[in-house]
Structure 1
């Protein structure tokens, strides 16, 4: 039987896998115990040791391990990092291989499943094309991306599929929340209703609940939804739902037997949504149009249905017809149960209630407000602090940053008036600003004496109330934050514009409609790299020592050290009270504008004695002026230096490789930050080793860097150049140039760029994805070693002989051998010039066709082997068994 060996996970090195000291893995009686259930081995449930752990956590029951893995959601040990290996167990009567007809049956079923997925997509494309929004999206896609009508319709169908997924996600979450808060009422639908419509409605509703269960099971596999549902119900209700009961679909599921559960569910969801929201209204609208034509009323009815050009759409007319029929059905039900007199009585009572209800509700509301006036006042104050203050700060920050984008104030106001929801972004930016100020206040109060902040609100005071207005504090917050934004944002931007008017506005790729799709993907890739976390981790450790050094230096120069600086040897400095207040500490501080006291109050009786010097006020003012100037200069340097370095990098790249593309300042900023960080770290490293006299280590590092640079230059220059020439000879010339014309001369740069793109795509697919068809097992092992091991630790001879030499030899042989055959052998055989020219032009495409045929044959063989294994497992596999861990498995 086959054993599916496990891959070593990162972080599971040998030093972690085999600890030096082993604890006792037995109980008091000397019996091995399971690490999870702490029970000994049983005759029908033996103990296994599936990973490199030793001691008391070495052994485990297979059932306990499977239960733990299902709950945790991964397939490797959390301690040693080794992946678990499972061996399939087959029945005793299992043959060595399946018969040919059973294998072909499995291949046909899987082909039908693929066809089913294609039909689902085409069905969505067709249904969405019936709606005016679908045609509008297709036209917009064709205009923006410049694609054909068919491809634009497919893009619109993809958008519609995403809308279906979104709607079912909302439906599943709503059902989960309602059942969580209002109880879980399981209604048994047996289809017994009075009339055909109720019975069909109950069946359709039951099928809809089954599809919601299926979608719910898929949602909990996504981390964010799993976290949300687990937070709503800590009892792990997300795991209590069983598999969706698709057999309840009856004959529909039997007819579509060749589809698996997921394909069938996707088809059912698409049909549900499309039928009730697109197909049924469309055909009903067509039927209305046909009836109007029959009765020759189209000319009279069309002006009534043509508002905003939507009345001519069958789908819109179908919506109106469905609403009318539903209303008529409800009226007929009401008339069948009540008399005309009862209906008139109910209508009169309803009109009377509608007339008196607003006055009654207004009276009740006024009474409630009067009784809870304090609650209204507190709510107003909290809205002012938590809503209005961050919104004002965000709007002011946006106003200060207008010169960066060269946006007029009138245009920004027009944008806000058209899209008021953008005010949420201003509120969010205001909250981020308050959070940054709070972190700065924590840093400042760690250095200065506590009595300097006697005028600030003490949010750690037990008598503090967040619902008090504090008018003076509120006005001080506005003045402080406004002046701070002017100092660190507005004035630096104005200074930069004054010195270099062409520095702004910033350039972004997303502003270019030609590459909008690619730019969005590039920005998503940048966000996934985590530059914000990297920048925060880089800046935070350096801010505190720099700020402390600045404060100590300026205070000693102005002779204010005794008054300003904290004497940590004499005073018991209390840390901020986040732990005492919990999560309310952050809310209180940000509600008060983050300009608060965090350490408790201190007596200020000696304050007048400290300021007895006549020059004290002048010194404090001079220190504040120096602080303002320092923040101003640091802000200018932080804006200008990374952007200049990033733009210089882009200009140098575009000078060498003329892309014809503008640079992007967002990428330029991060590239500049990386270059500055690398330069600083390199300079510090060199200075430190020269200082301690380790020039030999520096020399070794320089030689290692030269080796890496040579290998890297080979990888990005020689190999892509030969690969690009092969692509040129095999694909571009045969497709673009007829045989009776001379081939065009392509530049070396274009060929190198094509080869570099193809090489990187092949490397990425082979190293970072599960796609293994583009490389042999030997190449997969080589690339896996390169990915897992540090580059400096890889032997140079192994890289040259086992990695670079086979690639270069294969490419050179593929280029040289056809050249020798076409330009030396065929002319010597006495063929005519036309034959020689055809051979010279077609020998590389023929070689490519042979390679493709061999590749397709290999894929076909692998496909048959895979289908054979899957069908064999479906028929004769009775379970799997976890294998014991051995050192030979690791070394192999």
Structure 2
């Protein structure tokens, strides 16, 4: 039998290197040397076994002359050293906090205020005003917002630069000036001779077009492949001629800054570029052919509209100088950048590493804030304000609107963009390559910024206002009310409308994604697929023209506005005429306290539970599929709407349909319709009177939207109102039929948000039951009974969840909310001459919110008993719930702590302390302040306990520093678990025997 060996070095035990078994592992990996384990721990940075998870433990070995109690001078010296280190770190971190949270935002805001004040006096007093203590708190708060804006601007510029580097800039930016053409007839002939005699130039045709100096705009890569999948031989001559003709015809309509260059006269001799080196020319041709190669599996890209030329100056011939690229490549050293990235960390950047280098970073941040505020805020505002005053739109000293500064700044950006276009055209004319590229990049920055503001800010805001205007009759409001609220709080009004607009746009896009999964690829070709992996809105902002973006924005606004009219305004008008007593909706309850508690209950429990149901999307998708099948069958457009179903006996795969010249746009959109699997162009059968059938489809779609919205607005609220009436013990919550006609007072209604939530849940339960009945009844009685038995067993397994529900969502939130009410709200808000009234319903609703916050903080905090119990309860779930574990480890400790925190102060204030205090005012004051006093005492005790633990750690550290000579690995006792289990079994048997003897 072989001896025990180390699991790391595979050596046996020696006199100076004994073997240990420090973990639960057995067999050949049980033993290990201490030095081998220390080396492994040093490299792996783990203090536990990777196989069994047991944490290794060591026992310290001290010097023989170590005293039993450390001398006082050692303890005092270590304590003073620790205090000095703590003070040094405290001073350093205070400097870091003052610099980043005080100096940076304060200088940012006061520089911003100085630039926009326009006063010469502030220029003279600027150094004093920056560090003035007047209104310093509010200035720091506002400065944080200004600094965040500059930070986002900097990050946006860096990200836009990365997008241009990786995705490429627009074609007019990447192209260079055409070199001086040299007429060489003898050299051009061999190049032209390389064209295929059949007229299909293929790659050679593209080489000839490049060498011949043919000029074209950014549409020259949108050629159609009209051959087989294995070949890519395009008729390049027709391709170039057609694109040139299209560009000449589209240039006037596009309102380009400059006209498209005319093609060369036919009588001129052929021109070529000066010859390059063979390696350079070969690399250039390979890159061009690689970019021009077309994937046969993908449909041809859509032809670019004529208005694309209106975005930028006129495109030019391709001629990227290799010398500049080679020089940039020679100057780039990746090792230096990697070393800089390794040295600069967040701790070093912010100053958390203990060094003073962060002062330099603070200086650079302050400088960048000032520079960004001046360039991106003050300059556009000044230009816009100058233009507004020049045009006489406003009088001096009178603002244009509530948001005069924002609108003026946007106007200034528009002027800057137009100016950059003109300057770019001048630089192109003067052949200033570097200046032209800088101006082009500046124009891209301005263009992307304006488009981002329009698409993210303006479009949702318009949708939010349109939603509000169309829903005014539903809430019995008017435009005067909205105007008054806007004048009272313009910023809040804009934010609320923008938020509702963003929610509407998001759910509209989600519904479009659902439609793409049902409809034939290509039906929704005019809508962008946001889930497409190749879709990048920033790249579209960079490459597409302003006119195309404007057209898309107008189309999006029309679609969103029409949907709001169909789904909101039309149903409301129908309800007003057909059921006048149903509206308006009530947005305020009869009790303010109940309204607050029900809002918290709705937001924390009801709505999250409803929106997390996966059945909602499945049902909606099935409903859309049924509607599409019915409409397609009625109109006879199933092939167009849902696609042609494949034949079951069809073995051969039909050849791919060749799209015609006008199908490029549709094919390109159809290639990205499905979000899971990309599908190419799918042909469909075109029935007679196709346009009339499409008109009927649109009409049925509009009618269906109106009917569906009418049902959604009425049925859940109507059911919820009567459900709330039953819950309120028969209270009349709907107005009588003659209330409107007779003018009698309408009884108070509950908040419609709660009635809608209750009605939605009831509708969900009813529809779920109907769906189950429809699925089960056709399967027979045996299947139904088996399913019922299964539900009974599942309900029995969930019976324990009721107890957990009462504890976790009943007792604990109630005690938590009541405790915070007594500790914070009552001492601060209730005067001594008034009696506090506790609303348990409101305290419970607030306690639910507090419990969720406390649970989240516990899960993010350190590892301790309560966190492990919560994580274990989450892992077990409802079906595998261990009720004993939850009550013992989670419910009992929390309820005990809250119960003692509620009971002990109350007992002292109302039973013991009144013996010593007879004054009634003093008793009331004690009863009010005893809960905050106990909280303060608990906080002080916690600090004292923490300091005692820290002192013990300091004592051990001093002892280890003075007398520790080594550590010895501790062996794992494999018999300890068996002894523990045997002792527990013996105790249980003894308890059972004692109980039997007692009986």
TM-score, scaled relative to structure 2: 0.43
Greater gyration radius: 2
Q: Which has the higher helix share?
A: 1
